[in-house]
Amino acid sequence: MSIDGLPIHPLVVHAAVMLTPVAALLAIVYAAVPRWRRLLRHPLALAALGAAGAVEVAFLSGRAFIEDVPALADAVDVHAVWGERLLWCAWVLAVVSVLAWWALPVPGGRGGKGAAVDVAVRVALVVAALVVLVVVVRTGHSGSTAVWGGILGQ
C-alpha cells in the first residue's frame, strides 16, 4: 500500500497515535465526570470509533509494508506484535465507548440502565482506556525504536 510511491503506513500511523490517546482520555473523563457526559457523549463515540479505524488502517498497511519489504520483518517484529495488541485494544475501547454512550445516564437527559450497569460500564471504560494508553505507547515506542534506534543510537 503506497501513495505516490511512499508506503502508507508511516503516514497513517500518525492518525492512530493521535486519535487513540484522545479517545482514551475522553473515555476516562466520560466515566469519571457525569456532568460532562452530555458534552462528551458523541465526541467519545466518534473518537473511539475513529481511533479503532485508524489503528486498523495502520495495522493493515504495516502488514502490507512488511510484505512489500520482507527484509524489514525482523526489525519490526516487536512492533508488529504490539500493533496487533493495539488493534484488539482499540476495538475493545470503541465497543465499550459505544456501550457507555448507550448505557450511562446523561444529566438533564435520558436515564441510565441501572446502578449495577452504570458501575460495570464505567469500570470497563476506564480499564479499557488505561490499557489502550499503555499499549499505544508501547506500540509507538517499538515502532520508533525499529525506525530510529539504529540511526540515533550510533
Q: Among all chains, which residue has been given the C-alpha cell 512489500?
A: 68
Has residue 153 been placed in a domain?
Answer: no
* Domain count across the chain: 1
Which range marks the domain in which residue 126 is found?
A: 2-146
- Whole-number Cα distances in Å, 146 to 77, 89, 153: 9, 22, 11
Is residue 21 domain-resident? yes
The answer to the question of residue 151 being in a domain is no
Helices (H), the chain: 9-32, 37-68, 77-103, 115-152
Q: Are 121 and 101 in contact (CB under 8 A)?
A: no
Query: Considering the domain boundaries, does residue 154 fall inside one?
Result: no
- The tens place of each residue's pLDDT in the chain, 154 residues long, gives 778 888 899 889 999 999 999 999 999 999 999 999 999 999 999 999 999 999 999 999 999 999 998 988 888 999 999 999 999 999 999 999 999 999 987 777 666 778 888 999 999 999 999 999 999 999 999 999 988 886 555 5
Give a yes or no: residue 83 inside a domain. yes
pTM above 0.75, yes or no: yes
Question: What's at 118, amino acid-wise?
Answer: D
Q: Is residue 48 part of a domain?
A: yes
Q: Is residue 152 part of a domain?
A: no
**15 in a structural domain:** yes
